[in-house]
């Protein structure tokens, strides 16, 4: 009989199946996706391009995690990343807020279409009217490569 695969912490021992069952689904990931999306918009609008890029890259990681843990949604999550997230990142790289804003609007429309297509029409994302107040969203000094 094969040995039971388990992971141990100082508090408990968990089987591989127990660990797998704890992996986050979209219900846990999407609030963070939403928060990062919100921050990215207002960071780009404020000229904090590095923060906008960071939030979008992290959002991509969340989408990939969601695609791995909930493969039935992988086609939509992957398409969103490859088309819409890429367009947003390109606008950020160009520091072009008008292009970013258009891409953001289209990405939001598509996200809401995906919600409907995946039997979650009750979820309609919209940009909050106010920027998050816990972060400095204005332009930041670029790091000095010589200081490294």
Render pLDDT for 45-90 as a digit per residue (tens, 0 to 9): 999 999 999 999 999 999 999 999 999 999 999 999 999 999 999 9
Global confidence as pTM? 0.89
List all residues 6 or more positions away from 14 whose beta carbon is below 8 Å from its beta carbon: 6, 7, 8
The tally of domains found in the chain comes to: 1
Write phi, then psi, for 37 (nearest 5 degrees): -65, -45
CATH number of the domain that residue 116 is part of? 1.20.120
Evaluate if residue 132 carries a pLDDT over 90.
yes
Instruction: Tell whether 71 is covered by a domain.
Output: yes
128 occurs within a structural domain: no
Q: For residue 26, which of 89, 74, 58 has the smallest C-alpha distance? A: 74
Which domain covers residue 115, as residue numbers?
A: 25-122
| 1 inside domain | no
């Amino acid at each position: 009989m094969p040995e039971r695969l388990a992971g141990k912490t100082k508090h408990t021992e968990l089987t591989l199946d127990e660990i797998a069952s704890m992996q986050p689904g979209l219900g846990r990931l999407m609030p963070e996706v939403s928060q990062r999306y919100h921050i990215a918009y207002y960071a780009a609008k404020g000229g904090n391009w590095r923060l906008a890029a960071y939030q979008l890259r992290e959002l991509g990681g969340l989408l990939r995690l969601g695609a791995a843990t909930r493969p039935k949604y992988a086609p939509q999550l992957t398409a969103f990343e490859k088309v819409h997230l890429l367009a947003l990142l390109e606008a950020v790289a160009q520091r072009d807020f008008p292009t970013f804003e258009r891409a953001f609007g289209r990405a939001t429309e598509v996200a809401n279409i995906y919600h409907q297509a995946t039997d979650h029409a009750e979820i309609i994302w919209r940009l909050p009217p106010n920027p998050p107040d816990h972060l400095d969203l204005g332009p930041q000094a670029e790091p000095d490569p010589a200081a490294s």
